[in-house]
Amino acid sequence: MTAVRGRLPLEGVRILDLGQFWAAPNAGRAWADAGAEVIKVESCRRPDPLRIQARGIYPDHDPRGEHGDHWNRSGMINERNRNKLGLTLDLQEPRGRDLFLRLARVSDAVSQNFSTGVLERLGLGYNALAEANPRIILVSIMSQGLTGPESSYVSYGGNLEQLGGISHLSGYPDDPDSSVGFALPDPLGGATAALALLAALRHRDRTGRGMEIDLSQREAATLVVGDSVVEHSLTGEQPPRIANHEPGASPSDAYPCAGYDEWVTLVVRSDADWARLCTAIGRSELAADPRFATIVARRRHRDEVDALITAWTAQRSKHAAMSWLQQWGVAAGAVLNPRELFVDPHLRTRGFWERVHDPSDGEQEYYGRAFRFSASPLTTRMPTPQLGQHNREILSGLLGLADAEIDELERDEVIGTRPVLNESGGLMVRAR
């Protein structure tokens, strides 16, 4: 374990993380990174589906590896569950449910993103948890929330972008069918859940009462375009799609660079910006040209402006264009792809990537965090747990079970370290 200066902020907080896929495990990772004891609870009959993806990401493209434990080798699982402990419990089995409730008695929170109604059907809804521990906080990260006429609708990140109002604003103005999306409601949902729990913990510590947090990822999507809702409520108009144009700026777009499908974006927010851009591209005489002197004029002569800029960018690599324009104080950013981000000098200099020794995947690098704390630096203290890795430690350490009792649970498949899959390698229970 890496030594840390002082205490981690969330030390002493214990969270049972039933999360699967993306949004809820991300919230669990945010808490675990900050020092909470986060126990990732899975069932061998129903592990996190990312453990057994047919088209997953595995070292050397080899799911089975040396030990055949493909469920521990999925890169997707190992990216978002670091710093957590791993426990398996068959929650459909009475003993598994009972053990979960006993753990809830000694925990601060439970986090989950099953489909609506699943937790209740397992007998582990908020009422059952609160009966076991009135101080417990249940964080339910749902597509559209626990209540309302659309709460049981099926979704994934992409259609919540649609329903939340992001897609309406995103796309080519002349092509209404086009759309931009990358399932943002999942990371948004995870970040919102992380925040909500911290607030609820403070409330609980002051009042002694836990609560249920009923989070809607669709609402989280609307949160990020809320100003368009306010705008519509003020004017009655629909905010237009503006593609790469930023309000109050011109030009503002992506321009082609040397190479195949390489681009640099730049944004000119003032006439002074424009003068700097003209100098940067060796055309300082254009700064005073009345065709381009004001934002309105540049918009009117947009094709000419674009041609002037493209003539310059097309002869340079996107990195060279970005760096040169920035030297002249022009807001410019290369359109980077993931491979370029992985070797990006800025991110490397800042130590954004963390090398982790994963017991099944060997040395891998995962990204760090969006936030850094000066008094309590956050690190990857433990890699993602293997399925059921800490069963014994948790059941004996937290619940005082004897070795023989744990052996029996193992024999009866209430706990385990291997998934119980159907004949075609899939889940025994439908995924979602």
Partner 1 sequence: MASPEALHPLSGLRVLDIGREVAGPVCGRLLARLGADVIRVESPGTGDPARRRGPFRAGAAHGESGPLHLYVNEGKRGVAIDLRTASGRDLFLNLVAKSDAVVENFEPRVLGKLDLAYATLAAARPEIVLTSISTFGDGGPYRDYRATELTVFAMGGHMYRSGDAARQPLRMGGWPSQYLVALHAAYATLVALRLAEERGVGQHVTLSIFESQVTAHAQAMVEVSYYAEETGACTPRGAMGLRGVRARDGMAMVTAQEQQMGRLAELVGAPPELGRVDPMNREGGRRALLEHVARWAEGHTKREVYELGQAMHIPASYPADPADLLASPQYRHRGFIESVDHPEAGRVAIPGIPFRWAGSTAPPRPAPRLGEHNAEVFGGLLGLSGAQLAQLAGAGVIA
Please identify every residue annotated as catalytic: 186
Q: Which of residues 83-142 bind partner 1 (CB under 8 A)?
A: none
Mark the segment that binds partner 1 (CB under 8 A) among 38-46, 101-109, 219-227, 407-415: 219-227
Which position among 129, 163, 305, 401 is part of the footprint of partner 1 (CB under 8 A)? Answer: 163
Which position among 179, 317, 396, 417 is part of the footprint of partner 1 (CB under 8 A)? Answer: 179
- Measured CA to CA in angstroms, residue 348 lies from 224, 341, 342, 372 at distances of 29, 9, 8, 15
Q: Which two tokens stand for residue 20?
A: 């699967």
The minimum distance between CB 397 and partner 1, in angstroms, equals 24
Q: Which of residues 35-94 bind partner 1 (CB under 8 A)?
A: 57-59, 61, 75-76, 78-79
| Residue 47, phi then psi, degrees to nearest 5 | -70, 170
Query: Do the Cβ atoms of 104 and 134 come closer than 8 Å?
Result: no
Q: How many CB atoms lie within 10 A of CB 73?
A: 27
Strands 331-334 and 353-358, how do they pair? unpaired
In this structure, what DSSP letter does residue 146 have? S
Q: Is the dihedral of CA 245, 249, 250, 255 positive or negative?
A: negative
The residue (of 169 and 399) whose beta carbon lies closer to partner 1 is 169
The minimum distance between CB 403 and partner 1, in angstroms, equals 36
In this structure, what DSSP letter does residue 270 have? S
Residues in the interface with partner 1 (CB under 8 A) total 151
The residue (of 188 and 395) whose beta carbon lies closer to partner 1 is 188
The residue (of 87 and 139) whose beta carbon lies closer to partner 1 is 139
Which position among 44, 87, 132, 201 is part of the footprint of partner 1 (CB under 8 A)? Answer: 201
Site string for partner 1, 220-239 (x = CB under 8 A): x-xxxxxxxxxxxxxx-xxx
Which position among 145, 314, 379, 392 is part of the footprint of partner 1 (CB under 8 A)? Answer: 145
Q: Is the dihedral of CA 432, 29, 341, 70 positive or negative?
A: negative
Query: Do the Cβ atoms of 323 and 345 come closer than 8 Å?
Result: no
Which position among 18, 34, 39, 104 is part of the footprint of partner 1 (CB under 8 A)? Answer: 34
Regarding 183 and contact with partner 1 (CB under 8 A), the answer is yes
The minimum distance between CB 412 and partner 1, in angstroms, equals 32
Query: Do the Cβ atoms of 132 and 101 come closer than 8 Å?
Result: yes
Mark the segment that binds partner 1 (CB under 8 A) among 39-47, 104-112, 203-211, 401-409: 203-211
Q: Which of residues 247-276 bind partner 1 (CB under 8 A)?
A: 247-249, 252-254, 256, 261, 263-267, 269
Regarding 314 and contact with partner 1 (CB under 8 A), the answer is no
Instruction: Please tell me the distance from the alpha carbon of residue 350 to that of residue 330, in angstroms, as a whole number.
Output: 23
Which position among 1, 2, 149, 400 is part of the footprint of partner 1 (CB under 8 A)? Answer: 149
Regarding 294 and contact with partner 1 (CB under 8 A), the answer is no
Alpha helix segments (H runs only) across 208-317: 217-223, 226-235, 271-280, 295-300, 302-313
- Measured CA to CA in angstroms, residue 21 lies from 28, 80, 400 at distances of 12, 9, 31
Q: Which residues, at least 6 apart from 94, have a Cβ–Cβ distance to it below 8 Å?
A: none
DSSP-derived secondary structure for 129-150: HHHH-TT-EEEEEESS-SSSTT
Regarding 153 and contact with partner 1 (CB under 8 A), the answer is yes
The residue (of 178 and 422) whose beta carbon lies closer to partner 1 is 178
Which position among 4, 120, 156, 413 is part of the footprint of partner 1 (CB under 8 A)? Answer: 156
Instruction: Please tell me the distance from the alpha carbon of residue 415 to that of residue 42, in angstroms, as a whole number.
Output: 9
Query: Do the Cβ atoms of 332 and 266 come closer than 8 Å?
Result: yes
The minimum distance between CB 302 and partner 1, in angstroms, equals 14
Regarding 367 and contact with partner 1 (CB under 8 A), the answer is yes
Alpha helix segments (H runs only) across 49-106: 75-79, 94-105
Which position among 167, 313, 384, 391 is part of the footprint of partner 1 (CB under 8 A)? Answer: 167
The minimum distance between CB 187 and partner 1, in angstroms, equals 4
Regarding 382 and contact with partner 1 (CB under 8 A), the answer is no
In this structure, what DSSP letter does residue 386 have? P
The minimum distance between CB 14 and partner 1, in angstroms, equals 15
Q: Which of residues 389-408 bind partner 1 (CB under 8 A)?
A: none
The minimum distance between CB 130 and partner 1, in angstroms, equals 11
Instruction: Please tell me the distance from the alpha carbon of residue 161 to that of residue 220, in angstroms, as a whole number.
Output: 10
Strand partners, 363: 357
The residue (of 256 and 413) whose beta carbon lies closer to partner 1 is 256
The minimum distance between CB 393 and partner 1, in angstroms, equals 26
Instruction: Please tell me the distance from the alpha carbon of residue 161 to that of residue 151, in angstroms, as a whole number.
Output: 16
